[in-house]
Structure 1
C-alpha cells in the first residue's frame, strides 16, 4: 500500500503515469507545441524590431527612409509580431484544451471504476472525506500541471535559450555571461528552497484531508452526535485539525516569503549589471540606443516570468504531490479480481440456482478464524435459513457468496461452477439482497427503488412498491415517488427504508435471494405482511435467509445453526426441536420472551477485524 504521504516512486514516476493519457492525442499535442514555439519566436522578435525602430529614429532629419519606409515597415512588423504572439498563444490553449480535459475525465473515471472494483475491506477502512478530497485535488492537479509545465515553464526555458543565443551572437560575452549566471543562480535557489518547502505543503495536504474527513464523518453521524450531546466535542476535534493545518500553513507562508526575497535580490543584481554594461556600450559607441532598448526589453521579458518561477515550481510540485495521491488509489490492490478465464454466469431460468459451500475456511485476519469447515447445499428453488448468536458468522456467508472477499480454503459454487471462475458482474446480477442495515442514495424514492433495475418503467417501480407494501405510504407524501430521502435515507424510518430495499430487490427479480434480517426494522403487523410476500417470492427462487427471530424461518426447507464459525446443527424446524440442542434452547428462550444468551466468545469480528 502506498505510504500515507502519497509517494509512489518520485515525481518522474508520476509524470510517466500521466504522459500516456496526454499522448493519446499526439497530433493535438504536437500542433500545440508548434504553436508554442511560434508564439515564443514572435515574442523574441518584438524587442528586435523595437531595436531597429529606435535605430531608425537616429537617421538624419528629412531622410526619406526615416520618414516613411523604415518606420512604417517596422511599425507594421512590430504590430504583427505582437498580434502573432497573442494569436499563437490562444490557438495553443484552444488546441490543447481538449487534450487536458479529456485526460482529466479519463483519469477520474478510471479511479472511480477502480474504487468500485476494490474489496469491501478497503471501503470499510477508508475515510470517505479524505478519498474524495484526493480525487478532487488530483484531477484538478492534472490540468494545473499541464498548464504550469507546458505553458509556463517550458515556454520560459525556450525563451531563455533564444535570448542567450541572440546575446552570444550579437553582443559582448559579458551580457550572456551575466544573464546565464543569474539564471542558474535564480533557478538553483528557487528549486532548492521550494524542495525544502514541499514538506510543508505535504503536511498541509495531510492535515487538510484529516480535518475534512473528521468533518464529513461527524456530519454523516449527525444523529449520533445529538444523541450524546457531543457537539462541542466534535467541534473541538475539528478545531484541533484546523489548528494543526493553521500552524503548517504559517510555516509554509514564512518559507515562501524567504523564497520571494531571495529571488528579488538575484533579479535586481542581474538587471543592474546588464544595464550597466549596456550603458557603457552606448557611451563608448559600441552600442546604439536601440541596443540598450533591446537588452532592457529582453531582461523584462525574461525576469517577469522568472519572477513567478518559484510560484510555478511550487505549484508544479504541489500538483505532482496531489497526482501521486490520486494515482496511489489506482495502486491499491483489488484483492478480489476476475480470473483471466472468468466467464459470465448463464441464467437459464428464474427458478433458482443451486448454492454449494464445500469445506469453506475464512478469516478477515490470520490470527482469528471466522468460518471453519463450512459445508452445506441450498438446492435450486429451496429456502435455507441460517441462525445463531450475534457474531457467529451468519452475515459473512452472504458477503462470501457476493464475493466481497475470497475464501482461503474450500469452494463456493453456483450452478456447479466455482464463483471464482465467474465474472463478478454476472454473479452479483443473479443475486438479490435485502440487508439488515439499509443505506439509500440521497435521491428520490423512485430512484432508490429503480436502482434494482435502472431501466425499469414507472409502472414496474410502482408494482414493486406495492409488493413491498410501501406504495400507499409513498402516495401519502406531498411529492410521492419524487420525495427526497436525504443523506443515507435518514428522512425515512428504519421500516420505510427496509421496505424500499425490499422493493428494489423485487424489481431486480434475481434467481437467488438473500434476506439478512430483512424484516428486523418492521412492526409486527407489517412484518407479517412482508413475510407472507417474501415467502411467496421465495417459492420460485433459491433463498438464503439470515434470521434472528426463529419464528420467521420455521417453515424453511433447511435450517443451519451457526456457533463459533461452525455449523453446530442442521435440519428442519421440527427436527431441530427434537434434538433438544442449541436451536431448541434458542426457540424456548424466544418463545418465553427471555433475553438471548451472551455468546461473546463466538464473535467473528466481521465489523472490526475485516479492516485489518
Structure 2
C-alpha cells in the first residue's frame, strides 16, 4: 500500500508549483475564516451590550470583508485545483495508452478489447473526482480543522475537550467503511469491464451480423441483462457499505452543539453567551471538514482499487523495445537466421533458416498451423524470436528504431482494418504528409480509384465501422493503396487474397503485382496457384523448413509441395464440377 501511495503522489510531482499556490490559498482562507468567530464573540459580548455602534460597524464590516475575500480565493483555488487534477488525469490516460501501444501483439491477442477500453474509460474515469479534488479537499479540511481546534481551545479548553472526545472513534469507523468499499469496488470494476467487452463484441458491425444470422440476439440481450443486474447490485452494495456507520457519525455531529449547551450550562464557571455562540460556530465549521475528511478517507481507500487496476497495466512488461539504428539505403536482403519461436510451450517455428535476396519474391506455403503467418510477423517484428534473429541488409531488426522498421517493412494482411473515417483519412494514415495527388496515384495503382470516385463524396466518403461499406476485395485494394503510399522496400503479403472470389482475386492480384514491383516480397500463400512464379518457394511443416526451391524444382522433387499442388488441383476440379 505504501508503494501504491508513492506512485499516486508521484503523479502530482510535475505540478508541485501550482499545488503549492493552492495550498497557500487554502491556508490563507482558513486563517481568515477563523477570525470570524472572534469577531462574532466581540459583537455579542462587547459591541451590542455596551451600545458601541462604531465598534459594531467595524466588526460587522470585518465579517463581510472576510466572506468576500474567502469567496474570491475559493474560486481561484477551485480553478487551480481542477487544472492540476485534469492535467494529472491527462497524464495518466496518456501513460496507459502509450504503454499499451508499446506492448507486442501477444498482449492484444490474449486480452478483450472491451477490457482495455474499460481500464482507460471506467477505471481512470473512476479516480477523476479523487484526483481533481481530493488533494485540495484534504489540505483545506485539515487546515480548517487545525485552525478550528486551536481557536476552540483559545475560547474554552474544557468545551474543546468535550467536543473532540469522539473523533478517534469516528476515524476508526471510517477506515472500516473504506476497506469494505475497496473490496466491493474491485469486483464492481471487473463487472464493468465484462459489460464493456460484451457491448464492444456484440454491438460492433461484425457482432451484430453474427448475432442476427445465428439467431442469438435474444440470448445476447439476456446475457447483457444478467451482467447489468449484477453491476446494479454491486453498485448498491458499494453505496450502502458502511452507510449505518456514516449515518451514526452524522447524527453525532448534529447533536453535539446541543450537548455543548448542556455542558456549558452545568459546568462550573459558565462561559459567556458570546463565547458559547462563537464556540458552536467553530464547532459547526469543525464538524463539516471532519465529516468531509472521513468521507474522503473512504473515497481514497475505494479509489486505490481503481489505481491498482490502472497501475497493473502500466506494470505490464514491454517485451519488444526499439533499437537505435536506422536504415537509410535499404536494398532489402532479408534473412531468417536459425529462428526459433513459440507462443506457449510448443515450438511454432524451429530452426528456420531462410535467405530472401533483395528484389525477389519468396512464397511461404504449408498446412494450416505450419508457422507461415508467424514467420511473416517476425519479419515485421510484431514478435521477436526466442532464438536466432531476423535481419535486413545484415542488421538485426532488434537494433532498428520502430520508425525505421515501419518505413522498411510493409504488411498487407487478410484481416484488413479500416477506421471509421473518410477514405482519404484511411489512406493518409499510412503517410500523413501525402498530398491528394499522391493519394489518388496510390489508389489508381491499387485499382480502386474508380470505385472511390463513384462514392457519394468520393475520397471524403466515410467508410463506416471496419469498412463495411466496401466488399472484401475493395477493402483489400484500399489496404494495398495504403501500403503503396508508404512505399516500403520489403513487403509481407499475409494470404492477402485467400478470402476473395476468383474475379476479385484477379483484380487484387494485379494490384499486388504493381505493389511488389522492385521490392523484396514475402508471400504467405493459401492458394498455390498464386505463387507459381515466385523466385523461391519455402514449404513449412510443423514449424520447420521441409523443402525449398522453385515451383518446377519442387514438383520434380515429388515431396510435400507436389502433394499440396495435387490436392489443390483436385479441390479446384471438384469445385468446377459443381
Gaps of 5+ in 1: 1-9, 597-612
Residue in 1 that maps onto 2:20: 30
Aligned-pair CA distance for 1:56: 3.0
Q: Are the structure 2 counterparts of residues 170 and 293 from structure 1 closer, same or farther at C-alpha, using a change threshold of 3 Å?
A: closer
* Superposition RMSD in Å: 2.1
For 1:177, what is the secondary structure of its paired residue?
helix
Aligned with residue 388 of structure 1, among 366, 373, 377: 366
Residue in 2 that maps onto 1:112: 97
Residue in 2 that maps onto 1:255: 241
Contact 1:185 1:266 in 2 (8 A): no
Deviates further, 464-473 or 306-315 = 306-315
Any idea what the Cα deviations from partners look like across 1:580-600, whole Å, max 9, x if unmatched? 12111222222233599xxxx
**Count, aligned residues:** 572
Any idea what the Cα deviations from partners look like across 1:67-125, whole Å, max 9, x if unmatched? 2x211110111011111221222222233443222222222212111101011111111
Deviates further, 296-305 or 252-261 = 252-261
* 1:462 counterpart = 2:440: yes
Aligned-pair CA distance for 1:13: 2.7
Any idea what the Cα deviations from partners look like across 1:475-503, whole Å, max 9, x if unmatched? 11112112222222223221121111111
* 1:18 counterpart = 2:8: yes
Contact 1:141 1:320 in 2 (8 A): no
Contact 1:197 1:255 in 2 (8 A): yes
Any idea what the Cα deviations from partners look like across 1:253-307, whole Å, max 9, x if unmatched? 43343133221343245333222223446xx764222112111111211223434
Structure 2: distance between partners of 1:54 and 1:105: 51
Contact 1:194 1:310 in 2 (8 A): no
Contact 1:190 1:309 in 2 (8 A): no
Structure 1: distance between partners of 2:434 and 2:245: 61
Aligned with residue 176 of structure 2, among 177, 192, 198: 192
Aligned with residue 475 of structure 1, among 437, 440, 453: 453
Residue in 2 that maps onto 1:158: 143
Structure 2: distance between partners of 1:193 and 1:256: 5
* 1:355 counterpart = 2:334: yes
Contact 1:515 1:543 in 2 (8 A): yes
Q: Are the structure 2 counterparts of residues 190 and 430 from structure 1 closer, same or farther at C-alpha, using a change threshold of 3 Å?
A: same
Any idea what the Cα deviations from partners look like across 1:424-472, whole Å, max 9, x if unmatched? 3321221111101112111111111112112111111111111111111
Aligned-pair CA distance for 1:212: 2.0
Contact 1:138 1:323 in 2 (8 A): yes
* 1:344 counterpart = 2:325: yes
Contact 1:353 1:414 in 2 (8 A): yes
Contact 1:344 1:422 in 2 (8 A): yes
Residue in 2 that maps onto 1:306: 290
Gaps of 5+ in 2: none
Aligned with residue 229 of structure 2, among 243, 252, 258: 243
For 1:356, what is the secondary structure of its paired residue?
strand
Q: Normalising by structure 1, what TM-score? A: 0.89
Residue in 2 that maps onto 1:374: 352
Residue in 1 that maps onto 2:488: 510
* 1:211 counterpart = 2:195: yes
Structure 2: distance between partners of 1:16 and 1:425: 34
Structure 2: distance between partners of 1:37 and 1:310: 20
* 1:140 counterpart = 2:125: yes
* 1:264 counterpart = 2:250: yes
Q: Normalising by structure 2, what TM-score? A: 0.94
For 1:33, what is the secondary structure of its paired residue?
helix
Any idea what the Cα deviations from partners look like across 1:540-593, whole Å, max 9, x if unmatched? 111101111111111111101111111111101111111112111222222233
For 1:25, what is the secondary structure of its paired residue?
helix
Residue in 2 that maps onto 1:427: 405
Deviates further, 153-162 or 226-235 = 153-162
Structure 1: distance between partners of 2:12 and 2:446: 50
Runs (4+) off by over 6 Å:
none
Superposed, 1:157-176 pairs within 5 Å as: 157-171=142-156, 173-176=157-160
Aligned-pair CA distance for 1:165: 1.6
